Amino acid sequence: MDINELHKKLKSGETTATALTRSYLDKIKVTNGKINSFVLVCEEEAMKEAGLADERIRSGKGITKLTGIPIGLKDLLCTKGIRTTCASKILENFVPSYDATVVRKLKDAGAVILGKLNMDQFAMGSSNEHSIFGPVKNPHDETRIPGGSSGGSAAAIAAGQCIATLGTDTGGSIRQPAAMCGVVGVKPSYGRVSRYGLVAFASSLDQIGPFAANVTDAAIVLEAIAGHDPKDSTSLKKPVPNYAELAKKDIKGLKLGIPKEYFIKGMDAEVEASVNQAIDELKKLGAEILPITLPYTHSALACYYIIAPAECSANLARFDGIRYGHSSKNAKDIKDLYERSRTEGFGDEVLLRIMIGTYVLSSGYYDAYYKKAQCVRTLIKKDFDNAFAGVDAIVTPTTPSAAFKIGEKIDDPLQMYLSDVFTVPVNLAGLPAISLPCGKTKTGLPIGLQVIGKHFDEETIFRIAYNYEQHS
């Protein structure tokens, strides 16, 4: 059942938040050993929150559509009094003293927080294999990856462990796992959702967004967490529309751009066929399909893998083994403490990105790499600006292939990074995008369709996604 159905049943007394929460906690107990999506289940806290939700419903005051709805959180969102590890050794015992703004908003709405979800360490990865808790497994095929870095958040929805979850998207980390797990994932516009309380990877790219089993549920959750926050200077003062209601409008007359650069040599034939079928369906629903070009797409990955590691290097400098987090026990002096604590605390992928980032920011290389990447970023944004002068949204594949085998690309970073070739340009331009299922391979693996919108035009991408979902 979706959120609207459950909301009606909770209000009518046909079920209770306590019973609903218990059923999901039981489901997690049965399934989590297989897929490893949850790293921490907050059973006691969840049942307490469910009881408070039942009291709120009985009183008839302050009820929202999320009151009593079980939700999971990616383990880099700060939760007051509850461990937040970023799937890393350096923060394995870190307990925040405050809630992230999105967590507070969910709690204020009466949602029930079931626990924290597995991820690639510090959100760095495309497969959810870089975690101290072990890899997450795709519920559609447990020998395959769920996508990353928000793999636990996507897998939890696919396995029916939650009604909705929150993840983060720095270069595709919501949309890519959503595609590979066959669920809906939304990356909002940069500035739409507060990042306060999010453990930062790359501050100019990170955004928090929802996962759900359908478009309407994702729209309801985004509406609840979006909005200006004075605690986040990048959070903009923009009204938050009723996404779920506006999504029901038809798409007749909408102009949808299809960029030739996203249908590339080497893309899986089944992915291409499914996406083309989805485009045909959108045309039948009344949308006008137009070919467009985004010429700097070929530079997006190289640009991203300079800017993101540079910001990662700066953000992760705060983990020094002194103020909080893992501190080495065998250090000889302060310099040795820094080196040992960081070497012991960070995984290989995080260390790799810190080294790349430090290199491109160093004297003599800043202009050659980082400054040039920022110039290319501007060109990528201009590509989208030019395209949106003639279309209302852009439709592409989410990923070039379906989920690959666990371990298949772990020793080949370049091949791993290519999994995000269709998603990173959106982050560089700060745009909103949604991934939703558009078919399966012959072996039953999900395929994702990506819809990209204008800045702060989540309404249109929800409309397109909802109409496709209802007729596919």
What is the CA angle 177-183-185, rounded to 5?
Answer: 65
Q: Residue 64 class from Cβ within 10 Å (0-12 exposed, 13-18 middle, 19+ buried)?
A: middle
What 3-state class would DSSP assign to 84?
coil
Burial string for 24-43 (b: 16+ CB within 10 Å, else e) reads bbebbeebbeebbbbbbbbe
Question: Looking at this protein, which amino acid is placed at residue 159?
Answer: A
Of 222, 171, 208, the C-alpha closest to 75 is 208
Q: How is residue 79 annotated by DSSP?
A: B
The span from the CA of 288 to the CA of 392, in Å, is 10
**pLDDT given at position 265:** 85
**pLDDT given at position 324:** 84
pLDDT (tens digit per residue) in 53-87: 999 999 999 999 999 999 999 999 999 999 999 99
* Helix spans in 64-124 (H): 101-108
Q: How confident is the model at residue 261 (pLDDT cuts 50, 70, 90)?
A: very high
- Is the per-residue pLDDT at 264 higher than 90? no
146, 448 in Cβ contact below 8 A?
A: no
Structure tokens at 29: 């107990």
* Helix spans in 110-242 (H): 151-158, 175-181, 215-225
What 3-state class would DSSP assign to 394?
strand
**pLDDT given at position 254:** 98
**pLDDT given at position 330:** 84
The span from the CA of 169 to the CA of 140, in Å, is 22
Compute the chain's Rg from CA coordinates.
21
Q: Residue 150 class from Cβ within 10 Å (0-12 exposed, 13-18 middle, 19+ buried)?
A: buried
Question: Looking at this protein, which amino acid is placed at residue 350?
Answer: V
The span from the CA of 91 to the CA of 167, in Å, is 18
pLDDT (tens digit per residue) in 369-379: 999 999 999 99
pLDDT (tens digit per residue) in 227-257: 999 999 999 999 999 999 999 999 999 999 9
Q: What is the mean pLDDT of residues 395-409?
A: 97
Contacts of 109 (CB under 8 A, 6+ apart): 64, 65, 66, 67, 224
Pairing of the two strands 446-453 and 393-397: antiparallel
pLDDT (tens digit per residue) in 297-337: 999 999 999 999 999 999 999 999 998 899 999 899 999 99
Domains, in order of start, for the chain = 3-246 (3.90.1300.10)
Contacts of 283 (CB under 8 A, 6+ apart): 289
Question: What positions carry a catalytic annotation?
Answer: 74, 149, 173
Give me the percent of the chain exceeding a pLDDT of 70. 100
Sheet containing strand 288-292, strands side by side: 38-41, 112-117, 70-74, 164-169, 207-212, 184-187, 433-440, 446-453, 393-397, 255-259, 288-292
**pLDDT given at position 413:** 85
Question: Looking at this protein, which amino acid is placed at residue 409?
Answer: K
Sign, CA torsion 222/25/198/76: negative
Q: Which residue has the tokens 């600006």?
A: 385
The span from the CA of 294 to the CA of 297, in Å, is 6
Structure tokens at 328: 């080495």
**pLDDT given at position 266:** 86
pLDDT (tens digit per residue) in 421-442: 999 999 999 999 999 999 999 9
What 3-state class would DSSP assign to 453?
strand
Q: What is the mean pLDDT of residues 129-148?
A: 98
252, 287 in Cβ contact below 8 A?
A: yes
138, 183 in Cβ contact below 8 A?
A: no
The span from the CA of 60 to the CA of 80, in Å, is 27
Distance from the Cα of residue 198 to its chain's centroid: 12
